[in-house]
Amino acid sequence: MINLEVPKKAGALINQAYQAAAEVFRPISRKYDRAEHTYPAELDMFAALLDGLNSSGEGGAGAAGVRRSKDENEKGNRNGANLNVVLGTIEMCWGDVGLLLSMPRQGLGNAAIGSVATDEQLERFSGMWAAMAITEPSCGSDSAAITATARLDGDHYVLNGEKIFVTSGERADAVVVWATLDKTKGRAAIKSFVVEKGTPGFEVVRVEHKLGIRASDTAVLRFENCRVPKENLLGTPEIDTAKGFAGVMQTFDNTRPLVAAMAIGVARAALEETKRILSEAGVEIDYDRPANAQHAAAAEYLKLEADYESAYLLTLESAWMADNRKPNSLQASMAKAKAGRSVVDIALKCVELTGAYGEESLLEKWARDAKILDIFEGTQQIQQLIVARRILGKSSAELK
C-alpha cells in the first residue's frame, strides 16, 4: 500500500526544485506574463540542469515519462522516477506553471516519447524538445474522433491534417502528432508520430493569445503531405482492433498525473499567499478549533486546504502505482479530475478572500493560469466519464 510520507531520498530533489522555483521562476513570473510570446531565455541554463537529473535516473521536474519495468517477476515496492517527476513538478509550478511549460526538452511530447518509445527511439530522440499535438478544430475532448491521416508510402508516412492548442508548438524541436492510419478501423488505427521541425509540409500557422500560462506558447499546426520516416512512429504500426485505442491512450496514463501535479503546485502557491495576507489582516487559522468557531475567512480557508490535500494524495497515488507496475488509468484520471477542479476553485476563492490584495500579488495571475489545468490532457467532463467507465466496467457506448 502507498506510504503517505514523501520518500526521504526525494528530499534533495524537492529542495532543488523549490529553490529554482523561488529564485528563478517567481522573480520573472510577472515579466513573462506581460510579455506574451517572448521566450524566457533565463530557462536555458536551468533546462540543462534538469536534463542531467533525468539522465541520471534521479528524475527532474519536467515531463520525463514513465518507463515501466520489463521484468514481470520483479518484486517489492519502489519509489522511482515518476514519483520524483511529480514531486518536482509540484515545486516548480509553485513557482510558475507557464514557465515550466516553456522549459526546453520538458514538454508533454517528451513524456510520450519517454513512456512508449523503443530503446532505439529513446536514444535517437535524446535531447529533443517535443510538443504534443492531439486536438483538432473538429475534435476536442473525443480523441478517438481524430481526422488527421497518416498514409504509408514506401519508407515514409504521409501526414495530412491540422492541430490546434499545441503547447510549445512554435518553440519545440519536434511534435508528437496523433493521426489515423485507416479511418474505417476506428480508434485502433490512431497512432502517434514524431515530426521534426523543418520537415517539408509542416507549418506553424499561428500562435494564440491566452488568458493564462502566457509565458508558454500555444500554436496551430498544419500538415500537408508531410513525409515522416516510418521509424518515427511510436509503438507498433499494426492495427490491433482487439486492443483498440489502449496503446496510444497509455500516454495519458503517464501525462495526466503530471498535469495534476501542476495543479497541485499552483493551488499550494495560492493557499500560502492567501494565508499570508489573511495573517497580516489579523485573521489566523487555528487547526485546533472547529471551523465554525473561527472567522468566516479562516473557515473557508480550511475547506480549501482540505480540498488541496485530497487532490495531492490522489496525485501521489497515481504516480506511485506507475512506479510499482500497477495499472493506474483510473487513478490518473481521478487525480487529474480532482486536481484540475480543485485548483480552479481554490485560486478563485483565494482571490475572493483577499480582495484588492490579490491584485498586488500573483494571486490574480494564478487564478488565470489555473483554468487550463482543468482543460488540457482531458477535460473535467472526460475524466469523470473515464472514472465512471472504469468503476462501472462499462464501455462509452453503454454509458451514453
CA distance 115 to 118: 9
Q: What residues are paired with 248 via a beta bridge?
A: none
Q: Do 125 and 50 form a contact (C-beta atoms < 8 A)?
A: no
Task: Report CA-CA distances (Å) from 16 to 53, 60, 99, 167, 286.
Answer: 11, 10, 16, 25, 31
Options 170, 364, 377, 398, the catalytic residue: 377
Neighbours of 75 (CB within 10 A): 7
Alpha carbon distance 264, 191 (integer Å): 31
Return d(Cα 393, Cα 389) in angstroms, integer: 5
User: For residues 207 and 217, is the Cβ–Cβ distance under 8 A?
Assistant: yes
Question: Is residue 208 helix, strand or coil?
Answer: coil
**Is residue 91 among the annotated active site residues?**
no
The whole-angstrom separation of Cα 315 and Cα 20 is: 22
- For 85, residues 6+ apart whose C-beta sits below 8 A from its C-beta are 59, 60, 61, 62, 63, 64, 258, 261, 319
Distance linking the first and last C-alpha atoms of the chain? 35
With contact defined as beta carbons under 8 Å apart, do 285 and 278 qualify?
yes
Whole-number Å distance between alpha carbons of 226 and 307 = 46
**Which residues belong to the active site?**
377
